[in-house]
């Protein structure tokens, strides 16, 4: 879209959260809600922009949690149909 830039979360955290190491590939402990909210606060200087983007994040989290819930329900129902070994 014209006038919009999309940044990967690692890029935003790397530039805005102190001591964040984007090179860490495993056991990254800096992907926390507080760090994400801090990055949003530092990205959007306008209070309306901050609030709008935090609300968008909350909407996304609700959507993802709902999808995950439905996936788990379908997974359990499928595996209760007949006995079988579950491979994870």
Domain ranges of the chain: 1-43, 46-88
Residue 15: other Cβ atoms inside 10 A: 13
What are the structure tokens assigned to 79, written together? 């595996």
The CA-atom distances, in angstroms, between 74 and each of 15, 59, 84, 88 are 40, 23, 15, 15
Q: What pLDDT, in 10s, does the model give residues 31-57? A: 888 988 999 999 888 999 899 989 999
pTM greater than the 0.75 cutoff:
no
Largest CA distance in the chain: 56
Q: What is the DSSP letter of 2?
A: T
């Amino acid at each position: 879209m014209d006038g919009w830039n999309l940044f990967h979360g690692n890029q935003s955290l790397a530039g805005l959260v102190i001591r964040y190491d984007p090179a860490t590939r495993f056991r990254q402990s800096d992907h926390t809600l507080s760090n994400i909210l801090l990055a949003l606060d530092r990205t959007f200087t306008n209070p309306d922009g901050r609030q709008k983007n935090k609300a968008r994040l909350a909407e996304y989290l609700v959507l993802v949690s709902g999808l995950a819930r439905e996936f788990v329900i379908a997974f359990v129902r499928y595996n209760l149909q007949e006995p079988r070994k579950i491979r994870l």
